[in-house]
Chains A and B, each alone.
Chain A
Amino acid sequence: MALISDGKFVENEWRHLADEEDLPKSGKFIVSHKRLGEAVAALPADTPLGVIVANTTDPAALAPYFPRLALIAVAFPAFSDGRGFSLARLLRRAGFTGELRASGRIVADQSVHARQCGFDSIEIPADLAARQDEAQWRGALEAYSGFYQEGYGAQGSILDRRRKATS
């Protein structure tokens, strides 16, 4: 797996914990959604904890865990399955402020979609990273000088620019 953040390949500090593995005493690790309750109960409150969830997850079911979660990874079973983008929006709306990660076969051309919907990082399989290098991920983020949608992403929309130009 490779990790991309802000158009750069970065070190991945988080490890996915398989369901059959014991919960470690320390380190940053990501548990499955079904082990979340167990992990929260067993681990000290200051142990960093992440969870990976299906893109069909009800955000309301995760919300009670937000204070305890440093990272939520949303699984992308296929890059053409856009449910994860809506889930990211909903998790942000529900108040999650930790790291939001898209995990799966996301392609470089979706960097913008991921960022605008609230993802901080993208985790992709090694074979994909071998074909799509950092230049492609960075290039995709730099492809557009503005977007029409309001309420998506941190930078102002095209409509904002128009308003400023006329005011």
Chain B
Amino acid sequence: MTAHDPQQAARSNAPTTTYLYDACDAAFVRERVAEFRQQVARRLEGAMTEDEFRPFRLMNGLYLQLHAYMLRVAIPYGTLTARQMRRLADIADRWDKGYGHFTTRQNLQYNWPKLVDVPDILEALADVEMHAIQTSGNCIRNVTADHFAGVAVDEMEDPRPTAEFLRQWSSLHAEFSFLPRKFKIAVSGATHDRAAIKAHDIGLRIHRNDRGEPGYEVIVGGGLGRSPFIGKSLREFLPREDLLAYLEAILRVYNRFGRRDNKYKARIKILVHETGIEEIRAQVEAEFAAMDRAPFKHDAQEFARIAGFFAPPPYESLPAESLALEDAKRADAAFKAFAEINVAAHKTPGYAIVTVSLKPIGGVPGDATSAQMRTLADASEKFGFGELRVSHEQNIILPHVKKEDLYALWRMLGAAGLATANAGLLTDIISCPGLDYCSLATARSIPIAQAISRRFKDPERQRLIGRLGIKISGCINACGHHHIGAIGILGLEKKGQESYQITLGGDPSLSASIGELLGPGVTADEVPDVIEHIVDFYLSERQGDERFIDTWRRLGHARFKEVLRREGEDGADI
């Protein structure tokens, strides 16, 4: 038993570690809501046709799905305060069905809002400095960042000031709101890439030059979808002061020359692929040289103003190790498992980063009920300066928890069904909503994730297997990022039947690679069997602590294909 009982009153530790709106930001978001309210009214009166209305509702996060509208709320760079999380819960209760779905792009989706309610929902978001701006549409989307920003041990610089700078620059951009296709930017400032920057239209990696000045490697043309590409380096080092001008140059080249004849070939990755990175670089550099860069000159004062909001919270001076934590681990095996799997190293002694898994065994990946959201908000206030993060793995992060509080936090989470010890393990599956919700989907994804999760529910077995990412998409648009899963699953429709293609060897990090196809598609029922065969083969072949991806790289794809063929001949029918 620790001194920190979950029932005790919350500490008064107001959130200090994320951007707060000034009067200009607040006015902008309110004006946006008012504009959208007018647009909904004009749509209903017939002043706007559905075709005319569509891009504007999309740029306010509103999709028309299979059964209903879906509203996608932006969580810029994945950072949330407790107050904001509570508001998300309130919206889920008042205007939706009491839950929300956290996505692979650090957004939150409501699956059942009514069109006429959406302006009120946006107003409720604006009250807590949130919005749904540019979470969809052919524009610069919500800018994402490393979910361990500011606390990771391998971080050179917090990527969030850059991301917030870009959020403002890209909001209602006069020139770049009607692009050939959507445009996604991700920022990382650490050695390990947790933001999948090579799978974005632009990935920015913060690093320093020989003189120690901060700048960016600019990676362009990554993306998944039906033609997956790993991004290519456009500039190894771009000084910070040139960031906005250089992005304007890239976007202008893309806006002018990106394909508009075929929506499936309209992303910048296709332009880069068809034109060649050398030629694109020449065009971007020419535009960069020709433009008047004075208006885009880096404003160090403004950058410092923004960066100031992301200052570290008032940490206590603590010993690196906590005796209470070690005692609790010895006393409680289930907690020990959680502490070893879901807790990551923090750069401040005595603190830890906790991943709260939204992947309970057999659950819907990324879903959280309003009650769970409130528990997370309470937990963050009680144990973590009132701050939360959303990861692109569809989990919630509590970024600043004292090691001595971990046991109390774990019990609090457990009571809300939020203590699943599987972060990064096989059952921490990334999945798109699939045919259960999405009008683009060709197959179900959630039931596949649930079946695999149940098959591998034994925690000991999961731990034995170790870190292994499974990613599932219900169509070739690849919202579940299957191309970059160590094991990727793509649901298609073949002659009226769901058919699942399995790929191996995908990698979302800086050593990025696209998965390779294992063989012909299999039925939904067969997927767990195939995964099991692959995993068993890996376990029999791996050397030491070798990760799945490394065993696969060492043995080669053919060996894995062979296993499945052999199993098939043995009568396993796959």
The stretch from A27-35, A40-48, A141-149 touching chain B is A141-149
Which of B24, B32, B177, B296 has the most CB atoms of chain A within a 10 A radius of its CB? B24
Partner of A144, one of B49, B172, B291: B172
Which residues on A sit within 8 Å (CB–CB) of B178? 79-82, 85, 110, 113
Complex Cα spacing A148 to B42, Å: 26
The stretch from A7-15, A65-73, A131-139 touching chain B is A131-139
Complex Cα spacing A146 to B27, Å: 9
Assess whether B169 is in contact with A149, with CB atoms less than 8 Å apart.
yes
Assess whether B302 is in contact with A159, with CB atoms less than 8 Å apart.
yes
Residue on A nearest B295 in the bound complex, by CB? A151
Complex Cα spacing A147 to B171, Å: 8
Main SS of chain A's interface residues?
helix
Shortest beta-carbon distance from B304 to chain A in Å: 11
- B542 contacts partner chain A, Cβ-Cβ < 8 Å: no
Contact mask for chain B residues 159-201; partner A; CB cutoff 8 A; 1 contact, 0 none: 0000000001101111111110000000000000000000000
Partner of A152, one of B49, B175, B256, B299: B175
Shortest beta-carbon distance from B417 to chain A in Å: 41
Count of A-B contacts judged by CB separation below 8 Å? 113
Shortest beta-carbon distance from B428 to chain A in Å: 37
Question: Count of B residues near A, CB < 8 Å?
Answer: 45
Main SS of chain B's interface residues?
helix
Once A109-B39, A158-B24 are accepted as A-B contacts, the answer to whether A131 and B171 lie under 8 Å apart by CB is no
Residue on A nearest B172 in the bound complex, by CB? A147
Partner of A143, one of B31, B174, B256: B31
- B48 contacts partner chain A, Cβ-Cβ < 8 Å: yes
Shortest beta-carbon distance from A95 to chain B in Å: 12
Assess whether A82 is in contact with B39, with CB atoms less than 8 Å apart.
no
Assess whether A145 is in contact with B38, with CB atoms less than 8 Å apart.
no
- A112 contacts partner chain B, Cβ-Cβ < 8 Å: yes
- B213 contacts partner chain A, Cβ-Cβ < 8 Å: no
- A104 contacts partner chain B, Cβ-Cβ < 8 Å: no
- B55 contacts partner chain A, Cβ-Cβ < 8 Å: yes
Which residues on A sit within 8 Å (CB–CB) of B174? 85, 112-113, 115-117, 147, 149, 152-153
Which residues on A sit within 8 Å (CB–CB) of B35? 109, 140, 143-144
- A155 contacts partner chain B, Cβ-Cβ < 8 Å: no
Residue on A nearest B251 in the bound complex, by CB? A86
Partner of B256, one of A80, A86, A147, A153: A86
Question: Count of A residues near B, CB < 8 Å?
Answer: 42
- B210 contacts partner chain A, Cβ-Cβ < 8 Å: no
Within 8 A of A (CB), among B288-343: 290-292, 294-296, 299, 301-302, 305
Partner of B47, one of A82, A89, A115, A136: A136
Which residues on B sit within 8 Å (CB–CB) of A115? 174
Which of A80, A83, A153 has the most CB atoms of chain B within a 10 A radius of its CB? A80
- A163 contacts partner chain B, Cβ-Cβ < 8 Å: yes
Assess whether A150 is in contact with B31, with CB atoms less than 8 Å apart.
no
Assess whether A148 is in contact with B256, with CB atoms less than 8 Å apart.
no
Complex A-B, nearest 6 residue pairs according to Cβ-Cβ distance, in ascending order: A151-B295, A82-B178, A116-B174, A150-B295, A158-B24, A148-B168
Q: Measuring CB to CB, which residues of chain A are less than 8 angstroms from any residue of chain B?
A: 56, 79-83, 85-87, 89, 93, 107, 109-110, 112-113, 115-117, 131-133, 136, 139-140, 143-153, 158-159, 161-163, 166
Q: List 14 A-B contacts (CB under 8 A).
A: A81-B260, A89-B252, A107-B48, A109-B35, A112-B174, A113-B177, A132-B48, A133-B47, A143-B34, A144-B28, A144-B32, A150-B295, A159-B302, A162-B302
